[in-house]
A and B are shown apart, each in its own frame.
Chain A
Amino acid sequence: MIDAAEHRIIDCDWHYQDSFEEIAEYMDDPWRTQYKRSNWGDSGVKQNLSSFFPTSTGDRQAYGKVVREHSNYPDEPETPDRIREGMEYLDIDASLQISHLALAMGGVQTDDERTQAFAKGHIRYMLEEVLDPDDGVYGLVPLPYSDVDSSLEILEMVEDEEAIRGGCFVTAGANPPLGNRKYDPIYERLEDMGLPIVYHTGGSGLDDYVRAGYEEMIETHTLGFLESNMSQLVSVTCRGVPEKFPDLDIVFMESGVTYVPGLISRLEEEYLKRPEEAPLLEKRPSEYITDYYFGTQPLEVSASPRLLELCFDMLGTDRLLYASDYPHWDFDSPSTITDLPFLSDDDRKRILSGNAAEVFGL
């Protein structure tokens, strides 16, 4: 036996807790400046290391472009009061809360019990501490669709809860896609309960869509939400979910509106050539899809007004729902709707509240 203190010891694996702030000083520009602006500071390993070497491009705070509060995900947890502050700030009278953390559930590809445990805990917490119909604070229940039985248990938990106005699928990780018969019992239950299903993708996994190797968030944030919504929209429609569950309201969130007419047009061409492969459809796909509801955020306000007007006409102003996505970095305020030149005031009111009141029973 030897005494370590009396012998030479070489440790072959030590981790120096370096910080972004210190290293940035030694980097070449533009990275030196970009990293110093990114607010990653001296927090070292507390930060998500993927923000340094971009295994994910999803860091909303990167390079310090958006500096308002909540432009990124705060270290401090949300409080119910913050909802009121946000609603006051945006002039919103009623809101549907969707779990921020649940958005990461979309990246789970395995039979992971944590998504179920989280979803149940989240909804108990929200019902107990946060949701308040008297104050216009409602919620959607996240459904861990990979486990149908758990999803049904969760719907059972919220059956008579006035504060819960729909179910939510975080669509990114859904394999097989959400038109598959596997999910039928969830749709059936929602239809029975008179609740809509809301498809809302999440940030997790955006880097892996279709192919790996994108370099910046501008690429993955543009494509990820679109790809996810488009894949589920096609699956849900072609597998006949609206034929199977005709009283189920279907809502797609957070990809703007301009992708839908293009997708419809593409799908129509395929359907005319291969209708027998979507055998439950009794009419063209467009006739189902224009019955779905679409959240407008992030609305393509810089697009040609002619294009936007065409999209609004094609989808129907009775099918569009204002959504802020607050407090996420690319939120839309109600002015995105009130400022649209081609809408009548009645259409604006429908999109800002009337359609939502109908579909969510508010």
Chain B
Amino acid sequence: MSIDNLVLVKAADEFDDGDHELVDVDGVEVGVVRADGEFYAFRNQCPHDGGPVCKGPVSQKLVGEFVEPGERVEKKFVDEMIISCPWHGWSFDLETGENVADDSIILPSYDVVVDDGVVYVDDGN
């Protein structure tokens, strides 16, 4: 890791869970999001229609399980976190950037570095 590759975001303690901060990374708008104490960074442009995906709500993923014929599908929130574009609701797994509906659609992600209480985005160079 070289400090030259890092783009300053802001102090880690200025984030609450669900907060986001936008930064410019080599001309690309990148959103840094905190969820469950962890930081994630994605291109702030939804693959669907270009919406500001990183400004959307962060939540636990809702899944359903088929228990047995005739019974209701059991729905529950799981540990995986997702972020949902505020424009149309396209949702992405925070760990992988994969679209929840179709994992062949990937929201480009960036590495986040927290150093000495400060959050940076690695520009990948």
Query: Hey, which bits of chain A sit against chain B, CB under 8 A?
Result: 181-182, 184-185, 187-188, 239-240, 243-244, 271-276, 279-280, 283-284
Question: Which B-chain residue is minimally distant from A191 (CB atoms)?
Answer: B69
Q: Chain B: how many interface residues by the 8 Å CB criterion?
A: 20
- Is A272 touching B101 in the complex (CB atoms < 8 A)? yes
- Is B102 touching A276 in the complex (CB atoms < 8 A)? no
Which one of B61, B66, B102 lies within 8 Å of A272 (CB-CB)? B102
- Please name the 3 residue pairs, one residue from A and one from B, whose CB atoms are nearest each other, closest first: A279-B64, A184-B69, A275-B101
Which DSSP category, helix, strand, loop or mixed, fits chain B's interface?
loop
Q: How far does the alpha carbon of A109 sit from the alpha carbon of B102 in the complex, in Å?
A: 38
Shortest distance from the beta carbon of A325 to any chain B beta carbon, whole Å? 32
Q: Which residues of A contact B91 (CB under 8 A)?
A: 275-276
- Is A240 touching B73 in the complex (CB atoms < 8 A)? yes
Query: Hey, which bits of chain B sit against chain A, CB under 8 A?
Result: 48, 61-64, 66, 69-73, 75, 88-91, 99-102
- Is B70 touching A272 in the complex (CB atoms < 8 A)? no
Q: How far does the alpha carbon of A244 sit from the alpha carbon of B73 in the complex, in Å?
A: 10
Q: Which residues of A contact B89 (CB under 8 A)?
A: 273-274
Which one of B66, B100, B102 lies within 8 Å of A243 (CB-CB)? B66
Q: How far does the alpha carbon of A141 sit from the alpha carbon of B73 in the complex, in Å?
A: 29
- Is B69 touching A188 in the complex (CB atoms < 8 A)? yes
Q: How far does the alpha carbon of A271 sit from the alpha carbon of B100 in the complex, in Å?
A: 10
Question: Which A-chain residue is minimally distant from B69 (CB atoms)?
Answer: A184
Q: How far does the alpha carbon of A206 sit from the alpha carbon of B90 in the complex, in Å?
A: 36
Q: Which residues of A contact B71 (CB under 8 A)?
A: 181, 184
Contact (A284, B69) CB under 8 Å given A273-B90, A275-B91, A279-B62:
no
Q: Which residues of B contact A182 (CB under 8 A)?
A: 70
Contact (A272, B90) CB under 8 Å given A279-B63, A279-B64:
yes
Given A275-B91, A276-B61, A279-B64: 14 more A-B contacts, CB < 8 Å = A181-B72, A188-B69, A240-B64, A240-B73, A244-B66, A272-B48, A272-B90, A272-B102, A273-B88, A275-B100, A276-B62, A276-B100, A279-B62, A280-B66
- Is A181 touching B69 in the complex (CB atoms < 8 A)? yes
Question: Which A-chain residue is minimally distant from B63 (CB atoms)?
Answer: A279
Question: Which B-chain residue is minimally distant from A186 (CB atoms)?
Answer: B69
Question: Which B-chain residue is minimally distant from A182 (CB atoms)?
Answer: B70
Question: Which A-chain residue is minimally distant from B59 (CB atoms)?
Answer: A276
Q: Which residues of B contact A243 (CB under 8 A)?
A: 66
Shortest distance from the beta carbon of A247 to any chain B beta carbon, whole Å? 13
Instruction: Show 20 A/B contacts (Cβ-Cβ < 8 Å), sorted by A.
Output: A181-B70, A181-B73, A182-B70, A185-B69, A188-B69, A239-B73, A240-B73, A243-B66, A244-B69, A272-B48, A272-B99, A272-B101, A272-B102, A273-B89, A273-B90, A274-B89, A276-B61, A276-B91, A280-B64, A283-B102
